[in-house]
Structure 1
Amino acid sequence: MGFFVVCVVRETKTIIPDKVVKVLQTETSQFYEIFDTATNDQFEDCVVRVFLRKPPENWVYVEEGLEDIAETSIQESHQNSNAFELLMKNSQNIHLPELKKENTHRDLLYNDIIRLFQNKEVGWKNAKHNTIGKGFIERLTAALWYIDPHRTKFIARSLSLGELFNNLNQYQKDQHFNLFYHTGKHAKTNLNREKLEQLASSLELSVVQLWATSDNWEIIINKVFILISAMQKYAKNLEQINQVMKEIYISDSPARQPANDLKVYSIEPCQKINIKYQQLQDFLSNTNDYNEINLERFLPEDAMQRYHYIKSLQIRFLITLYCYYQSNYLGTINYIWKIPIDFEDRSETTQARVMAAIQEKLPQYFSQQMKK
């Protein structure tokens, strides 16, 4: 038989004080037998949580509650085992938080992280999976969920998000978790520096805790640190961009100037030209030397085709090409004009006047706000 000291507490009020309960040892003795004996079955309809300790040790939460086995079998008792030793041993087993009901794709991400941890055979002891563990997984879920629509931006900047997280189910299928961001008809938000820093700091609070120093967590924690570092670097980059834009906003000088963003060069005549340049060739045939022509009307709409059109430009005249780069969004302004084949007929003064005339036509952007 076994003897247990039982105390029943409802919220903060002691219902039954410390009481010694005797339970006969059977093959399947369970906590509910002890509880029923101590309470005379007066709490049958209540939700009961069970805690166990062997003084002077701390209380340990029993995950299975009243259904957990309280005593070992008779055969085990002959091997010098007892209920406390068995339960204290079980308390050292690792656990993970319960999976959520997948009502949203964010719940799916949360569950996928737990499954990933299951495959890596990691977890928490002493019921910490429901407190510390759950908090860590929720913070990791929040970070990955926020980054999910923008993963390609991190990859484009060579910022690794940790190879471990590429093994998540949706990423293995080359899909996203946050499908609404891509398919919903709503304004797409950019990454925010303050939000990235807040999520990174939140993760740091978890990975600097004592449990994270365990050897079995080493691989995962290293990958989380890589994720944190990538978030911090991206946030720093956003801060630098914001600072540059603030300086441009208050500056008295244009954000773009021909002195810094201009390219002018000559192209030798080509007797055999591609058919796509024939329209431009015919137009130039009817213009005078040093008469600047805006190329916009002759350029294809597709950005890649425009690039190759200018890069491989073929004309039967000696020409000068004037390219002024505005920005990633506004593109390049391109002018072209003929110059005489005979060197003695050329005029540097006229050439300079043409470029000055073009410069007068160029838009001036003093700030990002004015571009809008």
Structure 2
Amino acid sequence: MESQERLMLPPGPQCRNKRDTLTKLVTEWLSEIGLGFSKDAVETIGKNFIAVLTNTLWYIDPYVDQLNERSCYVPKQFDRFFGLNDPRLRKKKLMPVESSKLLDHATNIDVQLELPFMQTERWKAVQELLTDMSTAIHKYVKYLENQRVKMKEIHGLDHPRRSPSEAEKLLLIHPNTVVKPTFKARYKPLVDLISSAPYNDPLCIDDFTSDDTLARRYYLQNITVSIPMKAYMYSYAYGNNLGTYHFIWKVDPCLDENETLNNQKSLMRLKLSWLICTYTLKRMNAGLHLA
């Protein structure tokens, strides 16, 4: 029989920031469900447990949707703790999730799950929740590692021996003020996206083409007479049966045409290189090889 000793929780911190608020919420949650620690353990095991859980929830908060999208579901019972760590509210950019940090947090949770107090009947429900959360994080870490390996394979692919002029093509598209109604309807989704995008922001045309190769070729051929703004279309033959990529971006119509033509490749090379790697990874995952 479990001891009837009075259970205690560490005092919640003064809420000087949102992380303190999260610690307080975790402590209050444990109190609500009738959990705590003995007097001898509250300042050691108790404080450490709350810190581990708080740190894990804080780190995964901005990435919960990403985990869910990959079927790495964090238990719904933890939803009450999410929303506090949003970098956008602090006018900061959300950095990519780091698999090493995720693994550290999952490992810390695993250590807590092995502690004797977690094996008691009183803690069984929390044990199950933490087990599910740890499993979800480990699963996502494995997914990230697989993606890293695939990206490494992409960079390691042997490129065909061809000159740059054979591998890529940059085409200036002049604005078309009169577009056939059938073309206008067909290209409307692409045109709308180009119109709303900033200058020099490349978009992948392949996202709008059909899986049918004939329809795809027809779509690509008629872009030049269907775009109502000044733009560049860039084609890059990746080789290794991974097909050709097509990107398009609008440019400032007031820019000098010759200067723009001479500078576009150098200005866009880094951005396009990243996009090509990203879309290559997508094609490898989907098993697509487009011409």
What range is the shorter-chain TM-score in? 0.5 to 0.7
Report the CA distance between 1:283 and its aligned residue. Answer: 8.0
- 1:371 aligns to what? 273
Any unmatched runs of 5+ in structure 2? 161-177, 197-204, 224-233, 243-268, 275-291
How many aligned positions are there? 204
- 1:289 aligns to what? none
Judge conservation of contact 1:110–1:137 (CA < 8 Å) in 2.
yes
Please tell me whether Structure 1 or Structure 2 has the larger radius of gyration of its CA atoms.
1
**Counterpart pick for 1:279 among 179, 187, 192:** 179
Judge conservation of contact 1:93–1:125 (CA < 8 Å) in 2.
yes
- 2:117 aligns to what? 211
Query: TM-score w.r.t. structure 2 length?
Result: 0.60
- 2:102 aligns to what? 196
Q: Read off the aligned partner of 1:186 and give its amino acid letter.
A: K
Report the CA distance between 1:280 and its aligned residue. Answer: 3.0
Q: Deviations over 1:82-117 (max 9, x none)?
A: xxxxxxx99x21111111000110111111011111
| Structure 1 CA distance for aligned equivalents of residues 115 and 217 of structure 2 | 57
SS of structure 1 residue aligned to 2:216: strand
Judge conservation of contact 2:209–2:216 (CA < 8 Å) in 1.
no
Report the CA distance between 1:231 and its aligned residue. Answer: 0.7
Report the CA distance between 1:323 and its aligned residue. Answer: 5.6
Judge conservation of contact 1:161–1:227 (CA < 8 Å) in 2.
yes
- 2:215 aligns to what? 321
Q: Read off the aligned partner of 2:51 and give its amino acid letter.
A: E
- 2:22 aligns to what? 109
**Counterpart pick for 1:246 among 152, 160, 176:** 152
Report the CA distance between 1:236 and its aligned residue. Answer: 0.5
- 1:302 aligns to what? 193
| Structure 2 CA distance for aligned equivalents of residues 99 and 231 of structure 1 | 27
Q: Deviations over 1:114-173 (max 9, x none)?
A: 1111111011113311100110110111111011111111222222211221244xx5xx
| Structure 1 CA distance for aligned equivalents of residues 182 and 78 of structure 2 | 58
Report the CA distance between 1:187 and its aligned residue. Answer: 3.5
SS of structure 1 residue aligned to 2:220: strand
Query: TM-score w.r.t. structure 1 length?
Result: 0.48
Higher helix share: 2
By relative contact order (CA 8 Å, sep 6+), the higher-ranking structure is 2
Q: Are 1:362 and 2:235 an aligned pair?
A: yes
Report the CA distance between 1:364 and its aligned residue. Answer: 3.2
Q: Deviations over 1:8-43 (max 9, x none)?
A: xxxxxxxxxxxxxxxxxxxxxxxxxxxxxxxxxxxx
- 1:146 aligns to what? 59
Q: Percent identity?
A: 22
Aligned Cα root-mean-square deviation (Å): 3.7
Summarize the Cα distance change of 1:323–1:183 in structure 2 as closer, same or farther, 3 Å threshold: farther
| Structure 1 CA distance for aligned equivalents of residues 159 and 46 of structure 2 | 54
Summarize the Cα distance change of 1:115–1:336 in structure 2 as closer, same or farther, 3 Å threshold: same
Higher strand share: 1
